[in-house]
Amino acid sequence: MLVDETGYSRNTVYNRLEVLQAAGHIDVKHESTRMFEFVTDPRKDA
Protein backbone atom coordinates (compact mmCIF):
# COMPACT_ATOMS: atom_id res chain seq x y z
CA MET A 1 0.00 0.00 0.00
CA LEU A 2 1.29 3.47 -0.84
CA VAL A 3 0.85 4.74 2.72
CA ASP A 4 3.15 2.01 4.04
CA GLU A 5 5.69 2.38 1.23
CA THR A 6 5.97 6.18 1.36
CA GLY A 7 5.43 6.96 5.02
CA TYR A 8 2.91 9.66 4.09
CA SER A 9 -0.50 9.81 5.73
CA ARG A 10 -3.47 8.22 4.01
CA ASN A 11 -4.97 11.69 3.49
CA THR A 12 -1.80 13.00 1.80
CA VAL A 13 -1.59 10.00 -0.53
CA TYR A 14 -5.28 10.29 -1.42
CA ASN A 15 -4.97 14.02 -2.13
CA ARG A 16 -2.00 13.49 -4.42
CA LEU A 17 -3.79 10.71 -6.27
CA GLU A 18 -6.74 13.08 -6.76
CA VAL A 19 -4.40 15.69 -8.28
CA LEU A 20 -2.94 13.08 -10.64
CA GLN A 21 -6.46 11.99 -11.61
CA ALA A 22 -7.56 15.59 -12.27
CA ALA A 23 -4.50 16.06 -14.51
CA GLY A 24 -5.42 12.94 -16.49
CA HIS A 25 -2.37 10.91 -15.46
CA ILE A 26 -4.31 8.16 -13.66
CA ASP A 27 -7.74 6.53 -13.87
CA VAL A 28 -9.72 4.79 -11.16
CA LYS A 29 -9.98 1.12 -12.12
CA HIS A 30 -11.99 -0.07 -9.10
CA GLU A 31 -14.07 2.57 -7.34
CA SER A 32 -14.82 0.78 -4.07
CA THR A 33 -11.15 0.02 -3.38
CA ARG A 34 -9.86 3.21 -5.06
CA MET A 35 -7.44 1.21 -7.21
CA PHE A 36 -5.70 3.54 -9.66
CA GLU A 37 -3.83 2.88 -12.88
CA PHE A 38 -1.38 5.21 -14.64
CA VAL A 39 -2.49 6.47 -18.05
CA THR A 40 0.52 8.71 -18.69
CA ASP A 41 3.82 9.29 -16.92
CA PRO A 42 3.54 12.58 -14.99
CA ARG A 43 7.33 12.87 -14.84
CA LYS A 44 7.43 13.56 -18.58
CA ASP A 45 5.50 16.83 -18.08
CA ALA A 46 8.18 18.27 -15.81
What is the average per-residue pLDDT within 22-44?
91
- State the pTM of this model: 0.77
Contact 20, 42 (CB under 8 A): yes
DSSP code at position 39 = S
> For the segment 3-25, what is each residue's pLDDT rounded down to a tens digit?
999 999 999 999 999 999 999 99
The total of structural domains in the chain comes to 1
Question: Mind giving me the DSSP string for 1-46?
Answer: -HHHHH---HHHHHHHHHHHHHTTSEEEEETTTTEEEESS-GGGG-
Closest by CA position to 42, among listed 29, 30, 24: 24
Q: Tell me which residue range forms the domain holding 37.
A: 2-45
Across-strand partners of 15? none
